[in-house]
Amino acid sequence: MRLPCPHCGERDLREFTYKGADLPLPEGPDWGPDWEAYLHLRRNPAGETRDLWYHGPCGSWLSVTRNTATHAVAESRPAREPGS
Amino acid sequence: MAYSGWRIIREALTGNAGWRPVWRDPEPKSEYDIVIIGGGGHGLATAYYLAKEHGARSVAVLEKGYLGGGNVGRNTTIVRANYFLPGNSEFYSHSLKLWEGLEQDLNYNVMHSQRGLINLFHSDGQRDAFARRGNAMINQGDDAVLLDREGVRKHLPYLDFEQGRFPIYGGLYHPRGGTARHDAVAWGYARAADRRGVDLVQNCEVTGIDVEGGRVTGVQTTRGAIKAKKVGIVVAGRSSQVAEMAGLRLPIESHVLQAFVTEGLKPCIDQVVSFGMGHFYISQSDKGGLVFGGDLDFYASYAARGNLPRVEHVMEAAMTLMPMIGQAKVLRSWGGIMDMTPDGSPIIDRTPVEGLYLDAGWCYGGFKAVPGSGFAFAHLIAQDRPHESAARMRLDRFATGRGLMDEEGTGAQHNLH
Ligand SMILES: Cc1cc2nc3c(=O)[nH]c(=O)nc-3n(C[C@H](O)[C@H](O)[C@H](O)COP(=O)(O)OP(=O)(O)OC[C@H]3O[C@@H](n4cnc5c(N)ncnc54)[C@H](O)[C@@H]3O)c2cc1C
Ligand SMILES: [Zn+2]
């Protein structure tokens, strides 16, 4: 598997670390169903998903749209700032 | 017809013409008391214990492919009870006891082989952790022996004891650990369940779960609608999709785990051995192949095949631990889909939908759990309260933070187990 980095081009999987589902941060610091969903619950689709990857060589966090059944990558872009 | 040594001799003398299919291939009925979704090890065991322990008369197992075609036939077959935390500890202890009587109970040779399991450690810190784990196992009533380096050498003379990077300090020996023939476990439970009247319906994919007023009423399948008073979801790597049919979102992410087998060799690895520094474990099948594996690929995937970096890592670990393995040729590798929970431990619980039950989150360790999980899940479905061996396998533990079973101590968070 190879992943495209917007800064470095298509690179080998070995250079990346998977950081889990790309989900919007809940508003406010108080524990509630939104935090439970953010931390634990997953749609976990057998198909298109969006997850976060860290590219070691350039140090950037990426938001990658990917198919979990075929491993085909549709989009890779810099991850947004938390909360934005 | 029951199996026996006498029967095998008789069949051998009469051209093996007397063997018959060992389970029926029934059409699904329009209604059952209990429908089990998923004909893997856990689903088949659940159906068997529902019939045997709870006298359930109207039970169907619905399997989208063929029986035993999922992870129950793809795993590396290790059976052990070496857990540390309350919850896992009593559950796997109970499961191992069921394994020890399984062949007589099912009248089926599942080739359960208690050849012993040795987890190696490579530092003082790891030794302390394993000593503590061994004590927990003994407190649970199971067996554990802490071996020093020379103790390990007696059992495993072929390891590389000279290398300095990951020196072998010793191992935690679990004599009752071992392996079993994975397919035979599925077939044995299937045959035994069928003989107690369970309908095993293959090529029957569940496509919807019917819920009315918060209560389950049946399922939609590729072979028609089936009404049911109670429904159990036991679909391993597909848990999220099937639960979604009832509007549930689970604390599960599906990952791929790979495994490897070499060409058949003469007996050389007697126990199950795991490397404490390189995520590697190995045993030898009765056919002679060395069966081994390592970590998850570590990204969400349903591809049932892995990527080369993990292959490389596993091979490197193998060569580091036992250079002799370099002489063997790898025959095959494959992957299976793991239902990973945030704390790496399973769920056997009711769901917010009345009459709908969930058995999921077995991660990479659910083969040894097959008897225990089937037993406990059958109890939960039949009695509507958890069996004592699985009372802590709660679905809400992530939301409440109470009773997490994070064996690795890395945190109850996705992608850490
Ligand atoms: C490479 C590998 C190595 C492993 N090694 C070990 C090990 O050494 N020791 C150990 O204890 N565990 C091990 N495991 C884990 C173990 O195999 C699993 O945890 C366990 O088999 C899962 O339970 P199961 O047998 O019920 O799953 P499965 O056999 O996968 O059964 C689930 C069934 O549900 C069916 N299904 C899914 N969706 C539907 C639907 N919509 N309708 C109808 N049916 C459906 C599937 O077709 C499948 O047959 C390993 C797994 C893998 C992949
Ligand atoms: Zn980059």
Give the pLDDT confidence of B31-89 residue by residue, as tens digits.
Answer: 999 999 999 999 999 999 999 999 999 999 999 999 999 999 999 999 999 999 999 99
Asked if B251 and A43 come within 8 Å (Cβ–Cβ), the reply is no
Question: For residue B283, what pLDDT band results from cuts at 50, 70 and 90?
Answer: very high
The shortest CB-CB distance from B252 to any of A13, A19, A44 is to A44
| First vs last C-alpha separation in chain A | 30
From B36, B44, B46, B72, the mutation candidate for ligand 1 (largest count of ligand atoms within 8 A of CB) is B72
Asked if the domains at B26-75+183-252+343-416 and B116-176+253-340 fall in one CATH topology, the answer is no
Question: For residue A83, what pLDDT band results from cuts at 50, 70 and 90?
Answer: very low
Please, what is the average pLDDT of chain B? 96
Residue A84 has pLDDT above 50, yes or no: no
Mean pLDDT, to the nearest integer, of B252-257? 96
Question: For residue B97, what pLDDT band results from cuts at 50, 70 and 90?
Answer: very high
Cβ atoms B132, B144 nearer than 8 A: no
pLDDT of residue A82: 56
Asked if A46 and B309 come within 8 Å (Cβ–Cβ), the reply is no
Residue A26 maps to a domain: no
Mean pLDDT, to the nearest integer, of B342-350? 98
Question: Percent of chain B at pLDDT above 90?
Answer: 95
Structure tokens at A1: 């598997």
Among chain B residues, CA nearest to A67: B301
Backbone angles phi, psi at B316, to 5 degrees: -65, -45
Question: For residue B327, what pLDDT band results from cuts at 50, 70 and 90?
Answer: very high
How far, in Å, CA of B395 to CA of A57, rounded?
39
pLDDT of residue B304: 85
Residue A5 maps to a domain: yes
Mean pLDDT, to the nearest integer, of B177-184? 98
Three-class secondary structure assignment of B309-321: HHHHHHHHHHHHH
Question: For residue A80, what pLDDT band results from cuts at 50, 70 and 90?
Answer: confident
CATH number of the domain residue A7 falls in: 3.30.2270.10
Cβ atoms B255, B302 nearer than 8 A: no
Question: Residue A7 belongs to what domain range?
Answer: 1-19+47-84
Residue A41 maps to a domain: no
Q: How far is the CA of B310 from the centre of ligand 2 (A)?
A: 21
B253 near A CB under 8 A:
yes
Q: Give the 3-state secondary structure percentages of chain B, helix then strand then coil, rounded to 5.
A: 30, 25, 40
Cβ atoms B63, B204 nearer than 8 A: yes
Mean pLDDT, to the nearest integer, of B392-405? 96
Asked if A44 and B299 come within 8 Å (Cβ–Cβ), the reply is no
Total domain count, chain A? 1
Question: For residue B169, what pLDDT band results from cuts at 50, 70 and 90?
Answer: very high
Among chain A residues, CA nearest to B412: A40
Give the pLDDT confidence of A22-32 residue by residue, as tens digits.
Answer: 999 999 999 99
**Which residue of A44, A51, A55 is the best one to mutate when testing the B interface, meaning the one whose CB has the most B CBs within 10 A?**
A44
The shortest CB-CB distance from B251 to any of A13, A18, A41 is to A41
Class of the B116-176+253-340 domain? alpha beta
Mean pLDDT, to the nearest integer, of B306-328? 95
Residue B246 has pLDDT above 60, yes or no: yes
Question: Percent of chain B at pLDDT above 70?
Answer: 100
Mean pLDDT, to the nearest integer, of B106-114? 97
CATH 3.50.50.60 fits B26-75+183-252+343-416, yes or no: yes
Domain ranges of chain B: 26-75+183-252+343-416, 116-176+253-340
Global pTM value: 0.97
Residue A32 maps to a domain: no
Structure tokens at B303: 């591809």
